[in-house]
Every structure is written in structure tokens, then in C-alpha cells.
């Protein structure tokens, strides 16, 4: 498996070079959104209106952090289940989103759409929220502040560790991994 | 008759919520270390390293292990010779959870009006409370912050009695396989067999409060658990579903006599961040 040090935003060359199962360390800016923010963005797009923040070329991290303690930039901040965002992902890819970060697999339609739109889905380790917060250097709420933990934020990553799950070549790290180690079922 | 004041219960619940969210139980850490030794996939080993490093960091700095500090599940085993004084027990439990989540900077993840407005209650209340009346004059309180990712993968069915062990095995394997990375493997699988519909799921969850390594006192169930663990780990799902040999840390079963016509089976999965803290008053 290859290892990549990536400075965001993701360029088309970098996206081309990523393969399912590769390790990557992300540095730079990402957006965050969970269920309700996704629903709102897709409703806005459906009306033909502009999103509160431009998502072209961006990565969205599926996370709802714990509240920061005094002196902290962010609380624990690991990934949430990506599958819940599947119904909203294709319109966002059509609007120019270049990648997402979450845990667990994506449905076949999203996997296909990622390929079509030359975008990537990365896995971060679920349940490692304390550790992952150490790779987040700044956080600002940028939209939907009323949603609290579910508000959209901009986060500055510093070497944030991820694994490439769905690449633009049709690879899926979860199905490849399972096939390699399956003995029963 | 012994008296226990509700204020003591409230303050204990508050403390347990905070400790449970930051301190991974020793038996779970031990099981993760064993899984790391046994895991054969190099990618999965890296995942397990991150999980173990996370537990150490959370313990040292009292940080929540996971941003999902869960639905707060409370198990109360109340001795029949205890008199709870000073107010409403239910209210004390709600206040304890609210205080614990607020003071501990834990995420408020509970929404009211679940099928419509879904308004956040802001302090993770109300908790889910299970009480049992037991012999004795003490109150045991267990706090289990249960993440949404794993709880969403719960499954329940009532099989034909003829389905037996093969039916239960197939149902568990299918549940774990289809859940993939969503419940954050390596998981602990709680399996409730028998009883009635609601009791089967209660047993599946209560089985998750058993320490890993504590052997099921029923020899037949213990052997079945070992068989199921072996089968689950053969699925290849692996840590975070990245592929590997360590999909589950344990399978814990609870059973109850059931109706001649029924074989209820419930599965409740617990993530690797299997948070649980208890106190006895």
C-alpha cells in the first residue's frame, strides 16, 4: 500500500494517483457536515439557490465533534457513518464536491457517482476521536450555526490520517479487504 | 431497610457519565491488545494501533474517546431492601445525565420529536433507564454511553423453533456482515435468545455489560459463544471493515425460557469503544 502526504485542496493529479487501500495524510482545509446540513444543502440546490458556502473543489468530513473544553480548538472529532449521507451525496458531487471522509462503506450508486465525478471517499478510524482531534489545528463555524454539533465548520487539518476507500478507478478498499480475509459466511 | 438519597444517585450518575466517556474499561483495552497481536492484515494492525493510542490519550487527558458520547443507557439493579429518599428517582437520573454531559463537555446527541422536528434536548437527556429489583440493600448503577453507529445495526427476529443454532448463527453472521464498518468493528456482539420480543433485545444489550473474559456460567452457551466468535471473525470484515481477521472482540449471549411456538433472537452490537462504568451505592 502506498502512502501519500497530501496538501489540500485535492488536485486532479493527486486524485488520479490515489488507489483503494492507500494511506494518506491530509493537510489543509476541509468542510464538515452531517445529516441535517446535508439535507439543507440538497434542498437549497434543488431550489436552484446558492449554497451558504461554496463546495467546489472541497472535501466534506462527516463529523459532529464534542464541545471543546476551555483552551481546546476542538473536542473529540472522529468520523460518523458515511452511508447516512448517501441520499444527499450525488447532488453535492454534481455541485463540484471532490471528496468525503467518513466511516463505513458507500452504496453502489455513490461509488459509481464518485468515479463519474472524479472524486474520492476516504475512511478515518471511527472511535478514535480524541486522537484525530490532535490533527485539527483550527475550527470555525461557517454555516447553519443553529445546528450546534451538526453545524457546518471549516477545519484546518495537519497530517490527518485517512485510508482511500473508493477511488476513481473503481476500487473499494472494504470489499477488497473483506475478500482477502474471508473464511466463512 | 437502607436509605439511599436521590442526590447521591444524581451525583454518581453525573460522575459515571464523564468517566465512562473518557476511560475505556481495562477488559476492553486488554481485548484490543490481544486483537492487535492476532490480526494478520497489516492495514488492520494500523487501525488497531490508532484505536489503542486513542484510548491511551483519552485516559491521560480525560478526553471523550469518541465524539459520539451516545445515548445514555442506565442499568439500575435496586436491592429490595433499599428505600430511595429525598425525591423522584427518575428526575434524579435525568439531572445526573444532564449535569454529567454538560460538565464533561460531552456531545448532546438526543433529539425530541424523533419523526418530525428532531429538536436537540441540549444535555443528552432523557436517558434510557432499565431497572431490576434484586435481593439485597444496595443500588448498582451501570452507565453505558451507546453510540448511534452501532445501535443502528441492531437486528431482531422471531425464528421458527426448528431454526435452532444454525438459524441463530446465520442471523448473527448476516447482521455483522451487512453492518460492515458502520458499528465500528472490532465489535462486541450482544445476542439475546428466547423470552419475548422486548426481552430478547434487553438481554442482547444487557449481555454487553459482561466483562470480556468473564466466561458465560452456562457451559452450553459458553461453547456456542466461542463458536459464534470464530464464525464472525471468519467473515473477513476486520477492524473498521478494512478487511482482517479481528471483526469481533467477543460474543456475549443471554437467554431466557420462551414460548413453545417461538425462538426470539435479538442482536445488539457494541463498538470497539465499549464504554461502561459502574458504581454500587
Task: Say whether B46 and A69 touch across the interface (CB within 8 A).
Answer: no
Strand partners, B52: none
In 3D, which of B103, B84, B132, B116 has the Cα closest to residue B254?
A: B132
Task: Say whether A149 and B109 touch across the interface (CB within 8 A).
Answer: yes
In a domain, B238, yes or no: yes
Tens digit of each residue's pLDDT (9 = 90 or more) over B47-103? 999 999 999 999 999 999 999 999 999 999 999 999 999 999 999 999 999 999 999
Residue A110's pLDDT band (cuts 50, 70, 90):
very high
Which of A104, A123, A130 is nearest residue B64 as measured by Cβ atoms? A130
Residue B178 burial by Cβ neighbours in a 10 Å radius (0-12, 13-18, 19+) = exposed
| Distance, CA of B3 to CA of A73 (rounded, Å) | 45
| Distance, CA of B17 to CA of B277 (rounded, Å) | 8
Q: What is the pLDDT of residue B247?
A: 98
Task: Say whether A68 and B272 touch across the interface (CB within 8 A).
Answer: no
From B253's Cα to the closest Cα of chain A, the distance in A is 20
Per residue in B40-73, is it b (16+ CB within 10 Å) or e — as a string? ebebbbbbbbbbbebbebbeeeebbbbbbbbbbb
Average per-residue pLDDT in chain A? Answer: 95
| Distance, CA of A55 to CA of B221 (rounded, Å) | 53
Mean pLDDT to the nearest integer, B212-239:
98
Residue B23 near chain A (CB below 8 Å): no
For B150, name the nearest residue in chain A, comparing CA atoms only. Answer: A81
Domain count, chain B: 2
In a domain, B56, yes or no: no
Residue that is last in its domain, among B98, B121, B146: B146
In a domain, B129, yes or no: yes
| Distance, CA of B138 to CA of B140 (rounded, Å) | 7
Question: CB neighbours of B146 closer than 8 A, spacing ≥ 6?
Answer: B70, B71, B72, B73, B205, B270
Residue that is last in its domain, among B94, B119, B146: B146
Residue that is last in its domain, among B117, B146, B175: B146
B140, pLDDT greater than 90: yes
In a domain, B28, yes or no: no
Q: Are residues B128 and B8 in the same domain?
A: yes
Q: Strands (DSSP E) along B57-135, which ranges?
A: 71-79, 82-85, 111-112, 119-120, 128-134
| Distance, CA of B251 to CA of B269 (rounded, Å) | 9
Cis peptide before B186 (omega within 30 of 0): yes
Question: CB neighbours of B238 closer than 8 A, spacing ≥ 6?
Answer: A177, A178, A181, B39, B41, B44, B185, B186, B244, B245, B246, B247
Average per-residue pLDDT in chain B? Answer: 97
Q: Are residues B123 and B230 in the same domain?
A: no
Specify the DSSP class assigned to residue A96. T
Q: Are residues B69 and B91 in the same domain?
A: yes
Q: Are residues B15 and B133 in the same domain?
A: yes
Domain that holds residue B108: 2-22+65-146
Which of A80, A104, A177 is nearest residue B43 as measured by Cβ atoms? A177
ipTM (interface predicted TM) = 0.95
In a domain, B53, yes or no: no
Interface of B with A in 74-103 (CB under 8 A): none
A185, pLDDT greater than 70: no
Task: Say whether A181 and B241 touch across the interface (CB within 8 A).
Answer: no
Q: Would you mind telling me the total number of residues written for chain A in this entry?
A: 185
Q: What is the pLDDT of residue A82?
A: 97
Specify the DSSP class assigned to residue A140. E
B1, pLDDT greater than 90: no
Q: Which CATH class is domain A3-180?
A: alpha beta
Tens digit of each residue's pLDDT (9 = 90 or more) over A117-153? 999 999 999 999 999 999 999 999 999 999 888 899 9
Domain CATH number, residue B220: 3.30.1330
Q: CB atoms < 10 A from the CB of B113, how many?
A: 8
Give the residue carrying C-alpha cell 489503542: B52
Q: What is the pTM of this model?
A: 0.96
| Distance, CA of B133 to CA of B96 (rounded, Å) | 21
Question: CB neighbours of A98 closer than 8 A, spacing ≥ 6?
Answer: A9, A10, A15, A57, A58, A59, A118, A119, A120
Would you call B134 helix, strand, or coil by DSSP? strand
Q: Are residues B106 and B124 in the same domain?
A: yes
Task: Say whether B69 and A80 touch across the interface (CB within 8 A).
Answer: no
Query: Are A163 and A21 a contacting pair, CB within 8 Å?
Result: yes
Q: What is the pLDDT of residue B195?
A: 98
Question: CB neighbours of B51 closer than 8 A, spacing ≥ 6?
Answer: A125, A127, A128, B32, B239, B272, B273
Q: Where are the domains of chain A?
A: 3-180
Mean pLDDT to the nearest integer, B165-193:
98
Task: Say whether A130 and B54 touch across the interface (CB within 8 A).
Answer: yes
A184, pLDDT greater than 80: no
Q: Are residues B213 and B89 in the same domain?
A: no
Cis peptide before A147 (omega within 30 of 0): no
Q: Are residues B136 and B216 in the same domain?
A: no
Q: Are residues B121 and B175 in the same domain?
A: no
Amino acid at each position: 500500500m502506498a502512502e501519500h502526504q497530501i496538501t489540500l485542496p485535492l488536485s486532479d493529479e493527486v486524485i488520479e494517483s490515489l488507489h483503494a487501500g492507500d494511506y494518506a495524510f491530509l493537510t489543509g482545509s476541509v468542510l464538515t457536515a452531517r445529516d441535517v446540513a446535508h439535507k439543507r444543502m440538497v434542498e437549497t440546490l434543488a431550489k436552484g439557490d446558492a449554497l451558504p458556502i461554496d463546495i467546489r473543489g472541497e472535501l466534506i468530513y462527516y463529523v459532529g465533534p464534542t464541545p471543546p473544553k476551555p483552551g481546546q480548538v476542538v473536542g473529540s472529532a472522529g468520523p460518523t457513518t458515511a452511508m447516512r449521507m448517501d441520499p444527499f451525496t450525488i447532488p453535492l458531487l454534481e455541485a463540484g464536491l471532490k471528496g468525503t471522509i467518513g466511516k463505513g462503506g458507500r452504496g453502489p450508486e455513490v461509488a459509481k457517482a464518485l468515479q463519474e465525478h472524479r472524486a474520492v471517499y476516504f475512511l478515518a478510524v471511527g472511535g478514535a476521536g480524541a486522537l484525530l482531534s490532535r490533527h485539527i489545528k483550527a475550527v470555525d463555524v461557517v454555516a447553519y450555526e443553529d445546528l450546534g454539533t451538526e453545524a457546518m465548520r471549516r477545519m484546518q487539518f495537519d497530517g490527518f490520517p485517512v485510508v482511500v476507500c473508493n477511488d476513481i478507478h473503481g476500487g473499494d478498499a472494504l470489499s477488497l479487504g473483506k475478500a482477502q480475509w474471508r473464511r466463512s459466511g | 431497610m437502607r436509605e439511599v438519597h436521590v442526590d447521591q444517585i444524581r451525583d454518581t450518575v453525573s460522575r459515571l457519565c464523564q468517566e465512562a466517556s473518557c476511560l475505556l474499561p481495562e477488559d476492553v483495552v486488554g481485548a484490543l491488545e490481544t486483537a492487535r497481536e492476532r490480526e494478520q492484515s497489516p492495514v488492520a494492525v494500523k487501525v488497531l494501533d490508532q484505536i489503542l493510542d486513542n484510548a491511551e490519550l483519552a485516559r491521560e487527558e480525560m478526553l471523550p474517546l469518541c465524539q459520539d458520547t451516545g445515548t445514555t443507557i442506565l442499568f439500575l439493579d435496586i436491592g429490595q431492601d433499599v428505600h430511595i429518599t429525598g425525591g423522584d428517582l427518575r428526575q434524579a437520573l435525568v439531572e445526573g445525565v444532564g449535569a454529567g454531559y454538560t460538565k464533561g463537555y460531552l456531545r448532546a446527541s438526543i433529539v425530541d420529536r424523533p419523526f418530525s422536528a428532531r429538536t436537540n434536548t441540549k444535555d443528552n437527556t432523557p436517558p434510557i433507564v432499565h431497572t431490576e429489583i434484586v435481593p439485597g440493600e444496595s443500588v448498582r448503577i451501570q452507565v453505558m454511553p451507546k453510540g448511534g453507529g452501532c445501535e443502528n445495526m441492531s437486528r431482531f427476529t422471531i425464528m421458527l423453533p426448528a431454526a435452532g443454532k444454525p438459524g441463530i448463527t446465520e442471523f448473527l453472521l448476516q447482521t455483522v456482515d451487512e453492518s460492515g464498518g458502520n458499528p465500528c468493528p472490532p465489535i462486541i456482539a450482544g445476542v439475546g435468545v428466547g423470552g419475548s420480543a422486548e426481552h430478547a433485545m434487553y438481554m442482547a444489550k444487557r449481555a454487553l455489560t459482561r466483562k470480556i473474559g468473564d466466561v458465560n456460567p452456562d457451559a452450553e452457551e459458553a461453547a456456542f459463544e466461542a463458536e459464534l466468535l470464530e464464525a464472525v471473525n471468519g467473515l473477513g470484515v476486520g477492524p473498521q471493515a478494512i478487511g482482517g481477521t479481528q471483526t469481533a472482540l467477543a460474543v456475549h449471549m443471554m437467554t431466557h425460557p420462551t414460548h413453545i411456538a417461538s425462538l426470539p433472537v435479538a442482536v445488539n452490537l457494541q463498538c470497539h469503544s465499549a464504554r461502561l462504568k459502574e458504581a454500587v451505592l
